[in-house]
Amino acid sequence: MSMKRFGKAAYRIANELVARSGRAGIFQRLLPRIFPATYNLGIHVVLKRAPFPRQNALRIARLATRHGRLFRPFSSVIIERHRFQNRDDWRRKFEPIRKEQPRSIDLVERIKQIFGNSVRYNEDLKSSEWPNRIDSYEFGEFLGQGCNAAVYSAKLSNSDVELPNSKYSIGFNEVTDILAEVPPLSKVTQKKFPLAIKLMFNFEHDRDGDLHLWSSMGNELAPYPNAAKLLKGRMGNFQPLPAKHPNVVRIQTAFVDSLKVLPDAIERYPDALHTARWYESIASQPKTMYVVMRRYRQTLHDYVWTHHRNYWTGRVMMAQLLEACTYLHQHKVSQRDMKSDNILLEYDFDDEIPQLVIADFGCALACDNWQVSYESDDVSLGGNTKTRAPEIATVTPGRNV
């Protein structure tokens, strides 16, 4: 029985009760005084009407019996309670007004996922084996040199296939003294020479074997995770980084091979060649170490002089630098030659924020310990003498120092 019909029935029953009660003498005298307005409007008319029809009363009784609401007035409340206890019914009931709360997202995990799925920041997605012979590489243009190495662009010999990192590799400008300003490289050059090979200077060509090369130049491999196996038994307690990091230079491979004398070698670094005048005896086959790296576009030093920077670009670049320093400190690796020429940048367009990496670990300390025993002047403290911390630069050798 609907509420509308129930209301009509109740209204008629109330009218009938009022009408029959009003026929009594006392009610006829009291009702006009208690309800004057209502009595004047219709009660005296109702009194003249015919009695309430019997068929309407039977109809109301049948409806009440059929639906059971009149005999069980709390049945509707019970039904509604079950509906609210049912979660699905509750959601459907309030769907028009319910606002879905946003799910909590771990921002750090989201950033890791983005960087981990990007080839630009995770080259392991397109990993490949790199040859360990110098004849397998073709050298390109000279990029720069420092006191201990020269850097050339390179690619795999007899290979027209784009290397895994050539999509985002644009250039490289390395170490300490850049001889000339390198202009932006064209797309053809980017695809043709996507690698950078660091040719280490061997000033001990009169020594046979390659053990001294690994022990004296192995610090360059501090950011190379495979260096732990490569230098096992060759560098004592050397502990390289356990994994790659997007803000640390990417080293593809490193090996010792015969010295390759390039056409401009005599002009650029004659003292590092085995033809130098002070060598009395030369090993049968002069060798040196080669470090194959990803090629980056520019150094931070050149970027500062050639690009305008805004506040947000500077913040992101500083954050990347701090991320790299935190990662190095976490694994007790000190670069010890931090300067703008040893910070490399990678970007595709001039208006985008570059990817920043720390490079040149030739002076690094990576022995899982921050302390160096300095008992005499014969002990080398390592690092760049011009960028040493004051407490290191002013220390005097002694016992337990």
Look at residue 332 and tell me if it is in a domain. no
Which pLDDT score is estimated for 296? 92
Tell me how many domains the chain contains.
2
Look at residue 265 and tell me if it is in a domain. yes
Question: Does residue 276 sit in the same domain as residue 142?
Answer: yes
pLDDT band at residue 91 using 50, 70 and 90 as cut-offs: low
pTM over 0.85: no
Look at residue 333 and tell me if it is in a domain. no
Which pLDDT score is estimated for 189? 60
Question: Does residue 131 sit in the same domain as residue 271?
Answer: yes
Question: Does residue 86 sit in the same domain as residue 210?
Answer: no
What pLDDT digit, counting tens, does each position of 16-34 carry? 776 665 555 565 666 666 6
Question: Does residue 148 sit in the same domain as residue 38?
Answer: no
Q: Cβ(237)–Cβ(373) under 8 Å?
A: no
**End position of a domain, from candidates 282, 298, 314:** 298
Question: Does residue 194 sit in the same domain as residue 286?
Answer: yes
Look at residue 361 and tell me if it is in a domain. no
Question: Does residue 41 sit in the same domain as residue 141?
Answer: no
**Catalytic residue (choose from 337, 348, 360, 368):** 337
Which pLDDT score is estimated for 163? 45
CA angle, corner 88, sides to 82 and 91, nearest 5? 105
- Asked if pLDDT for residue 300 goes beyond 70, the answer is yes
Question: Does residue 135 sit in the same domain as residue 278?
Answer: yes
Q: Cβ(144)–Cβ(174) under 8 Å?
A: yes
What pLDDT digit, counting tens, does each position of 131-170 carry? 999 999 999 999 988 889 999 999 998 754 444 443 333 3
Which pLDDT score is estimated for 310? 86
What's 270's domain CATH number?
A: 3.30.200.20
Sheet holding 195-200: strands in order across? Answer: 137-145, 149-156, 195-200, 287-294, 251-258
Of these ranges, 76-80, 119-123, 156-160, the one predicted with the greatest mean pLDDT is 156-160
Look at residue 272 and tell me if it is in a domain. yes
Look at residue 337 and tell me if it is in a domain. no
Look at residue 309 and tell me if it is in a domain. no
Which pLDDT score is estimated for 160? 47
Of residues 399 and 188, more confidence is placed in 399
**End position of a domain, from candidates 93, 115, 146:** 93
Q: Cβ(375)–Cβ(266) under 8 Å?
A: no
Of these ranges, 46-55, 57-66, 190-199, the one predicted with the greatest mean pLDDT is 190-199
Question: Does residue 138 sit in the same domain as residue 46?
Answer: no
Domain residue limits at 45:
3-93
**End position of a domain, from candidates 281, 298, 315:** 298
Of residues 394 and 41, more confidence is placed in 394
Q: Cβ(142)–Cβ(150) under 8 Å?
A: yes
Say whether 337 is catalytic: yes
Of residues 295 and 182, more confidence is placed in 295
Of residues 46 and 258, more confidence is placed in 258
Look at residue 146 and tell me if it is in a domain. yes
